[in-house]
Structure 1
Amino acid sequence: MNPEISRLRLPRREDLPQEARELMSAAEDKFSFVPNVLRAWAVRPDHLVKWRAYYDLIMQGESSLTRTQREMIAVAVSSVNRCVYCSTTHPAFLRLELQREGRDPLLAHVLQSNPDHALHDERFTPLERALLSFALDLTLRSHQLGQAHVEALRTAGLSDEGIFDAAQTAAMFNFTNRLANATGLLPNDEYHAMGR
């Protein structure tokens, strides 16, 4: 057991299969540290590798949604789900994306602290507010989603592929948040300083 980052035992890096070790090395090259999610979820290395491939497809793959929009969905969903890991890491990523766009990085904290408030904040674009509304409905009331929710996204300018991408992003974070909460996953300290 390692109470510092997870309720589960942490496998030794040298004992992991090559694909899992390569994930850690690539992350270390990019961030100068290994994200705790890679260390903790390596308890099932084959699952980790497949989860990470899906995560990369959702967050970095081809989509009409920008990386900023996808990070906004991640932050809103993770905040509502009270996921300590994702509601720390994804505001950091969102701050960086907002800075790249020349926007106020503190918008990440508006979204993190109260996603419902962001729905009425005009610093978020109409499309961003529509995406956030959809993501929150999917997270809190998925059984009530209907055609009107899809039409609201179409009216905001999304294609059916974009709508599917928005749903996948929100759904993937609902899954990931619950797994992080179940395993007691805690974020690396380095995320607190990113994008500040």
Structure 2
Amino acid sequence: MKTNIKSYTDNQLLEQVERIGGTIPNRGKYLIIGVQSQEDAFNVFDDKFYVFDGLDFKQVSSGTTNAGKTALYFYDQYNLPGAAIWKTDVFYPNLFKRGYHKGRMRALRQNKPIYYYRDSDKDKFSEEQGELHFEIIYANMHGVDYNPYSVAKKDFINGWSFACQVWNRMGDYRQMVNAVWKRNKLVDYALLKEF
């Protein structure tokens, strides 16, 4: 899996979550950690998602924690004031619940408000600048193909993320979402800037 993120040990990731004020759940509840690349390569899946069951590491995969080209350049065509950019280094207990993305793909649906900015300068970077907002904007966690049997891998974000946390390898995504759905519990999420 090629991303721009360096590799971390389980302990490094969990310690960083605690450093930003997060708590590690007990076994039986999932914690997903998104690590956002400092490089912020334009419109490509260059971030990573790590899945933990309590302290137990389960999985890592590539994806994006940033908006894609469509959101960064054409947000106004969707009557938006800018692309939604999550504030990094924030822990969200019980952020996601079981649901569907656009009614077509099993997903983790945003259950609580997030901190985010609106990037409206139409450049190639997802920047944390301007007014900080805190609300539900349906920033879900999902994959890149509505076909429930797909094993697709996509390289470019384009319209797959306006604010969503998106996995670009459907085999990996399906493994995660199937495990979460079996538990029928809320999922904690931490979005970290590469450290």
Q: TM-score, normalised by structure 1?
A: 0.36
Higher strand share: 2
Q: TM-score, normalised by structure 2?
A: 0.36
Higher helix share: 1
